């Protein structure tokens, strides 16, 4: 039950109607909009939020891991030890956020940090044996949920969506020139 001022829940069956309501509202206010662009961005955002929460609930929460902590473990598992500034970029988090996540992972014995001897300002992070054991056991369960999600679409739909999302990422990702 909602109280006055609460947003009513949007049920999955109502998504298309909600989009129509938004278009009507914007047109009633004299705003010319590109419905296709609105629908695309809104649904990418909705899908990402639903996917993230689903994977957190079904895979990560039982291991007491946040999405960001899992991402950090994944990056270190795949690419190995790295400077924290590069790890933050790969995990797509702010350096301050990474610091807190690394504190938690380090307290749990999953990650170790060390200062570079050549430049004490630089800090690297790496998985511990416990961290490697956890991510090695956890990732197959994570991937099983990814497969479950992927099966909601046909093979053709998956390929089209994957190509389209890659296009968005490539078009919006900062270039090496932007980072200088």
Q: Which of 16-30, 32-46, 84-98 has the lowest mean pLDDT?
A: 16-30
Just give the CATH number of 18-155.
1.10.10.10
Average pLDDT estimate for 152-178: 88
The pLDDT tens digits for 66-96 are 999 999 999 999 999 999 999 999 999 999 9
Domain boundaries, the chain: 18-155
Rounded to whole angstroms, the Cα distance separating 60 from 33 reads 39
Quote the pLDDT of residue 180. 45
Average pLDDT estimate for 8-30: 72
Instruction: Give the ranges where 56-128 is alpha helix by DSSP (H).
Output: 67-79, 84-91, 95-107
More confident residue, 153 or 34: 153
More confident residue, 180 or 154: 154
């Amino acid at each position: 039950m909602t109280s006055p001022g609460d947003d009513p829940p949007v049920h999955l069956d109502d998504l298309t109607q909600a989009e129509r309501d938004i278009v009507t509202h914007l047109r009633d206010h004299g705003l010319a909009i590109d419905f296709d662009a609105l629908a695309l961005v809104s649904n990418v955002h909705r899908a990402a939020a639903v996917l993230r929460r689903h994977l957190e609930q079904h895979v990560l929460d039982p291991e007491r891991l946040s999405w960001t902590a899992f991402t950090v473990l994944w990056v270190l598992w795949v690419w190995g030890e790295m400077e924290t500034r590069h790890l933050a970029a790969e995990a797509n988090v702010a350096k301050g956020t990474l610091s807190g996540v690394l504190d938690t992972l380090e307290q749990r014995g999953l990650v170790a940090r060390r200062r570079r001897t050549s430049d004490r300002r630089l800090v690297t992070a790496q998985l511990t044996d416990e961290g490697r054991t956890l991510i090695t056991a956890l990732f197959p369960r994570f991937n099983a949920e990814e497969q479950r999600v992927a099966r909601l679409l046909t093979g053709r739909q998956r390929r089209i969506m994957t190509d389209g999302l890659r296009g968005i990422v490539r078009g919006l990702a900062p270039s090496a020139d932007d980072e200088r």
